[in-house]
Amino acid sequence: MLTLLTYPRHGDVFSFSPFCVKAALLLTYSGQDWQREDLKDPRRMPHRKLPVLRTPSGLVPDSSEIRRPVTHSIRRSVCTGLAFQGIGRFQESDRKARLEQDLQAVTTLLKDSPFLMGGQITSVDFSVAAMLQAMRSTMVETSLVRRISDDPVLSGYVDRVFHEAVPLS
């Protein structure tokens, strides 16, 4: 049986990690039998992070690797310098503006369909819904939490993916 090593549940949220949520959604949607195992300290995992999928042939680290068929050896090296890349380089006002553009794009895609690519749920929905759920479920109520929670399109989309299309127990 497959075992998804993930961060613990927090209330109704499967995990605070959107990557763990994405992996769980992919496994559930695939129809494969799997179970969860909660970990609080991932330092002994291959990349010192979660999620990790335990399979009969070994550990598969990272949600994007979990998506691929498990037939080859596990990637052993981690790219360095990721902490120095990405959106963290921008000023807060620029980050917020970029995020708002992204949220508007998602809202536009959902205007006439239940999922991002139309009437059928896809892995794109798993990634985006997991991120949106994480953004609206932080322990501190921020303007971002309110932005997503108060938006009926975005909030409805997250609820639809998690409660109707692919419920996680």
Mean pLDDT of all residues in 42-55? 92
| Spacing of C-alpha 139 from chain mean position | 17
* pTM for the full predicted model: 0.59
pLDDT at res. 89: 64
pLDDT of residue 52: 93
Q: In the structure encoding, which two tokens stand for residue 93, read together?
A: 């006002």
Is residue 78 scored above 60 in pLDDT? no
Is residue 128 predicted with pLDDT exceeding 80? yes
Q: How far apart are the C-alpha atoms of 81 and 76, rounded to whole Å? A: 16
> Where do the domains of the chain lie?
2-67, 91-165
Is the per-residue pLDDT at 69 higher than 80?
Answer: no
**Residue 38 or residue 73, greater confidence:** 38
User: Looking at domain 2-67, which of 3.40.30.10, 3.30.10.20, 3.30.230.10, 3.40.50.360 is its CATH number?
Assistant: 3.40.30.10
For the stretch 11-34, pLDDT in tens is 888 998 999 998 898 888 777 788
Predicted confidence at residue 27, as pLDDT, reads 84
- pLDDT(157) > 90: yes
Higher pLDDT, 142 or 95: 142
At CA 54, angle to CA 48 and CA 59, rounded to 5? Answer: 55
Contact 129, 162 (CB under 8 A): yes
Give the residues across from 10 on adjacent strands.
Answer: 13
Model confidence at 101: pLDDT above 90: yes
Yes or no: say if 116 and 153 are a contact pair by the CB < 8 Å rule.
no
